[in-house]
Amino acid sequence: MTNKVHTVDGEIIEQYVKALLAYDKKSKTEDDFAKKLFDDGAKVNLQINFSIVPNVKNKTFYFDVPKSPIFNETSDVCCFVEDKKNVDKYEYRQEVKEQIKEICPFVQEVIPIKVLKSDFVTYEQKKLLAQSYDFFVGDRSIFNILPSILGSQFIKQRKLPIKVDNLNADKNNLKEILTSKLSRAKWWVDGRGTCTNVIVGSTKFSAEELVKNIDAVLTGVAKEGPRGWKLIKSVHIKLENSIALKIYEKGADVKTPLAQSEVEKIHSERQQLTKSDLVQLYQTLTKRKRTRKVTTDKQIPVKEKPIKQPLAKKAKITKA
């Protein structure tokens, strides 16, 4: 079989999608009006399991799908942008926020790098920021430094920003570009285990819409995933609170590819570069330079030496 094409039977996908939708409909009580009124639909997840753990870490793959799995006009989006010289960071923040929000109403916040570094320092501040918005996007010019500034909470919550070229209000078709990027399906591969997950829609979708999204995601997995389709061991579909229905399992005759893919090779080279002696030396020197600057800037008070008092003369004891 071709390694860049998935082999999941379309009829099986349709059969189990309909079964999930029927289960969801039956599980909801008829008399719970409030629950039905505010129900946004349960997320439909595609579980993709590798035969072995691929050599990538915290890698995100994006796939174009017919219908956006999560994003819509009511989603909350936060943008990270580069700073503007000779302008107060908070004034610039408000200015660019108003400009982008006028074009893209779903953008609720815009944060320049200086504001991000000064106002979101602690673990709790970064955690709260990650929880406050549905999506994050970042300008290409600052994209490489964002992960280290944002910290582990954005990785744990899988909220790392999406890269956008020239993220500002002057960009042509900014709303269309952001909508297109945010509407893709996201496949997160952390490189720590064999089980991964992709949200392909919700129970508010029709069976046909879900089937088309699932097929598009599987096509992307086979084409762009590490080592292609032969590395995939099994695929299940499920709701958040339902059993997983198996729609694919690799046959015993399909051998697992052992050679690393180009994606894995590139990742390995980056990891080696990060761990190299030259990079570590540069990071150490930079850290020392910053520490020295902070120490120099601070005015260390000079401790005054205490004035020694003369010892009191001992009184002579005379014998009676």
76 and 170 both lie in a single domain: yes
Does residue 282 carry a pLDDT above 80?
no
Backbone angles phi, psi at 248, to 5 degrees: -160, 140
Share of residues in the chain with pLDDT > 90 (%): 65
pLDDT of residue 287: 59
CA distance 19 to 27: 12
Q: In this model, does residue 300 exceed pLDDT 50?
A: no
* Domain end position, chosen among 136, 165, 180: 180
Q: Which two tokens stand for residue 76?
A: 């909350």
286 falls within a domain: no
Which of 180, 215, 241 represents a domain boundary (last residue)? 180
Q: How far apart, in whole angstroms, are the C-alpha atoms of residue 189 and residue 196? A: 6
Residue 303 lies in a domain: no
SS3 156: helix
Confidence of residue 312 (pLDDT cuts 50, 70, 90): low
DSSP at 260: P
Any idea which of 109-118, 227-236, 252-261 has the lowest mean pLDDT? 252-261
DSSP 163-193: EETT-STTSTTHHHHHHHHHTSEEEEE-SSS
Answer yes or no: is pLDDT of 296 > 60. no
**Pairing, β 77-81 against β 135-139:** parallel
What would the two tokens of residue 199 be?
Answer: 């949200």
Domain limits for position 49: 1-69+183-259
pLDDT digits (tens, 9 = 90+) for 166-209: 999 998 899 999 999 999 999 999 999 999 999 999 999 999 99
Weakest-pLDDT range from 12-16, 183-187, 192-196, 278-282: 278-282
**Total of domains in the chain:** 2
Same domain, residue pair 109 and 242: no
- The answer to whether residue 175 sits within a structural domain is yes
